[in-house]
Structure 1
Amino acid sequence: MQAAEKIRELLPKEAARQFDDIIQGRVLGAGTHIRMIGNMMLAIAGLDIPSGEMISRCTALGEYFKETRGKSSYAIISAVNLMTGGFADCEPGPESAQLIRDSVEAFFADSAKATGKIVEYFTRLVENRHMKTLMVFDYSSTVEKCLCALEQPVTVYVPESRVIDGGRPFVGPFVRAGHKVRFIADAAMLTVLRDVDGVFIGAETFYPDGTAFNTAGSDLLAEVCGLYHVPYYVLTPLLKVDMRAAAGTLKQVISADLAGRLGAGWEQDLREAVDFHSIELVAVGPKLVTAFVTEEGIIPATAMFHTAAAYDRRVNEGRSRR
């Protein structure tokens, strides 16, 4: 927590609230977190401080999130590298604030274009395969945008994803988009799967071999989709590829104490006597993924490596991959 407090002190008041929202888990989704990190950098660029300090604060903020949030989502690392890529060659001066703004806004513009292409490919997929009943699992801003872009209403099953309450954020947007929403317990996924034309998840990150990482439960859903021959798609920008796996550096196990959620309402002495630690992030192997829907198209999991490696070379070559 000491590192977090040091970074928090670098931020103006409004940006500090966004910082707290991320580290305390009040806001979900790697894409949303990336936008918030960019907004924090923009807030720093608006401070009346020396230009060199402005750059160093943005750099420290980015490195903090690469070291922490980047452990579960490599997209954080790639996004920070893209936003701060020009800082190292910047001489402190009056144009530093504009450099920060230009870098962050260029990243957002490119990210919006990538999301737009994913939505386009997703819409085409749903229409061409005549999908009328879909299932989504665990909140993803990319998945939300894709479903909300469909012109024809569909039935959407939203399992509760109890580990992080990741189903509920979908509900409002889907209802407003005109879809028929069925909110179910995640343990009941199998009972309705025969009615589903396709399952869609986002990804915290993915390996170039086509392994996707998402919230616990994503693996169970993938397994039963395989048993019942239900297509299982991962909607993700290539930003989330983690090429470190190709060099043998694999993800750390991400777990958490879920006492506050799973033990809510329990007697305190009983809750204190139980271990609530649980894995939060799980791997879904390429054999269980029908395809990835990316800005480069709909790519079978087993064909991902070439596309992923080419993207990573453009973004991260010569930069920190922590």
Structure 2
Amino acid sequence: MADQYAQSGEDKQPAGIPAIRWDEPPEGPVVVLLDQTRLPSEEVELVCTDASALVEAIRSLAVRGAPLLGIAGAYGVALAAARGFDVDEAALALAGARPTAVNLSVGVRRAQEAHQASLARGESPEQAAQAALAAARTLHREDAEASARMAEHGLRLLEELLPGGGHRILTHCNTGALVSGGEGTALAVALAAHRAGQLRRLWVDETRPLLQGARLTAWEAARHGMAYSLLTDNAAGSLFAAGEVDAVLIGADRIAADGSVANKVGSYPLAVLARYHHVPFIVVAPVTTVDLGTPDGASIEVEQRPGYEVTEISAPQAPVAGAGGGIPVAPLGAQAYNPAFDVTPPELVTAIVTEAGVASPVTAKSLAELCGRPVGERLG
């Protein structure tokens, strides 16, 4: 069960309301989310009292972004344990809520295994629930630390590839604090460049059909005082042609063993444009996003989203009339193709930046060495 209550966004530090937190009110433990479907018009928290509410929040994109989904999955298992629900059943539902983002199942598995190990030691259900919560909190802390290291590695890479500063960076979707326990992945690198006085302009793809760039990345960039401009996705080519892009920085939802990168749909065309115009195309993601058990891009399951996300525009607080709750922009009954992600082959990726370092060139060997695991091993 989930409840919502609004929070004022005035006079807040750039971090604002945390994207996710564990709380223990008198009524019992809950997982509290910043509802990303309501941004930027309002900062509203969504309170989940059970795993099923968290599953719905994940599917509706109230909580999103690969690293944050891992944290949410782990907290969801801890929530089920703390409230006395079937932990394995909750874990199964959470892990399957979105199929492409590997971090979700990794986070679920970490908390579930901690819970199982506690019970195997003969500890009480209450102690097992605490073990699951400790695992979730550890993952949360590790992700924040990973974010900081990715920002350092990414900034150093930009300095090597583009000496002199004044970077004009193009990004896609949202990869900041809203997807992470820290300051994010790709946007954390851009933020580090901004703080170092090296960011001239952040180009923000609006990111159709759900506008995570317009609603979320622009919101984060404005709060940090970054110089940014918003553009429609299909305007990116004109920017490249005009020589206005120095580097592309994106995140990832799953990276296969060969270095193929699944990210928000629209990423692959940017990689093609970047290669043609000799612009670095850089992927920033924690090692929990690397799945060496998925051999190549063709093996990545790409989530298909509802057609109404294309045939309607979602506008918080606006009058609605469509089947999906949005404003219709296509004829009634129009069929829509709506993959949530596309896959960029490794030969189009200049580098993959993780908290463990940088893989470049991107190959199965360099990626496995970076992660410190044999090829074919699945994270978790």
Using structure 1 for the length normalisation, give the TM-score. Answer: 0.82
CA contact (8 A) 2:150 2:353 kept: yes
2:100 corresponds to which residue?
72
1:4 corresponds to which residue?
none
**Cα deviation per residue 1:92-124 (whole Å; 9 max; x = unaligned)?**
514223212221122222222222211111122
Instruction: Show structure 2 runs of 5+ residues with no match.
Output: 1-28, 31-46, 180-184, 314-326
Question: What does residue range 285-296 of structure 1 map to in structure 2 within 5 Å?
Answer: 285-296=345-356
| Alpha-carbon shift at residue 136 of structure 1 (Å) | 0.4
Amino acid at match of 2:303: I
Q: Give the Cα separation in 2 of the matches to 1:254 and 1:97.
A: 31
| Alpha-carbon shift at residue 248 of structure 1 (Å) | 10
Q: Give the Cα separation in 1 of the matches to 2:289 and 2:296.
A: 17
Q: Give the Cα separation in 2 of the matches to 1:247 and 1:187.
A: 28
Of residues 189, 192, 198 in structure 1, which corresponds to 2:236?
A: 189
2:270 corresponds to which residue?
221
Report how many aligned residue pairs link the two structures.
Answer: 298
Change (3 A) 1:173 1:266: closer
Aligned partner of residue 99 in structure 1, secondary structure: helix
Identity of aligned residues (%): 19
Is the counterpart of residue 304 in structure 1 residue 340 in structure 2?
no
2:332 corresponds to which residue?
271
Instruction: Report the more deviating stretch, 154-163 or 255-264.
Output: 255-264
CA contact (8 A) 2:247 2:281 kept: yes
CA contact (8 A) 2:114 2:128 kept: no
Change (3 A) 1:81 1:40: closer
1:173 corresponds to which residue?
220
Amino acid at match of 1:124: R
Amino acid at match of 1:208: A
Instruction: Report the more deviating stretch, 163-172 or 181-190.
Output: 163-172
Amino acid at match of 2:291: D
Amino acid at match of 2:167: K
| Alpha-carbon shift at residue 289 of structure 1 (Å) | 0.3
CA contact (8 A) 1:203 1:236 kept: yes
2:167 corresponds to which residue?
132
**Cα deviation per residue 1:138-179 (whole Å; 9 max; x = unaligned)?**
112322333233312431000111133221211121122221
Is the counterpart of residue 113 in structure 1 residue 123 in structure 2?
no
Is the counterpart of residue 36 in structure 1 residue 72 in structure 2?
yes
Change (3 A) 1:88 1:26: closer
| Alpha-carbon shift at residue 180 of structure 1 (Å) | 1.0
1:156 corresponds to which residue?
202
Of residues 190, 193, 212 in structure 2, which corresponds to 1:147?
A: 190
Of residues 256, 280, 285 in structure 1, which corresponds to 2:340?
A: 280
CA contact (8 A) 2:72 2:107 kept: no
Using structure 2 for the length normalisation, give the TM-score. Answer: 0.70
CA contact (8 A) 1:259 1:271 kept: no
CA contact (8 A) 2:55 2:94 kept: no
Q: Give the Cα separation in 2 of the matches to 1:267 and 1:179.
A: 32
Aligned partner of residue 233 in structure 1, secondary structure: strand
Is the counterpart of residue 239 in structure 1 residue 288 in structure 2?
yes
| Alpha-carbon shift at residue 241 of structure 1 (Å) | 1.3
Q: Once superposed, what is the RMSD of the aligned Cα atoms?
A: 2.8
Change (3 A) 1:23 1:254: closer
Amino acid at match of 2:343: A
1:101 corresponds to which residue?
133
CA contact (8 A) 2:74 2:135 kept: no
| Alpha-carbon shift at residue 41 of structure 1 (Å) | 3.6
- Does 1 or 2 have the higher relative contact order (CA < 8 Å, sep 6+)? 1
| Alpha-carbon shift at residue 267 of structure 1 (Å) | 7.7
| Alpha-carbon shift at residue 37 of structure 1 (Å) | 2.5
1:6 corresponds to which residue?
none
| Alpha-carbon shift at residue 198 of structure 1 (Å) | 0.5
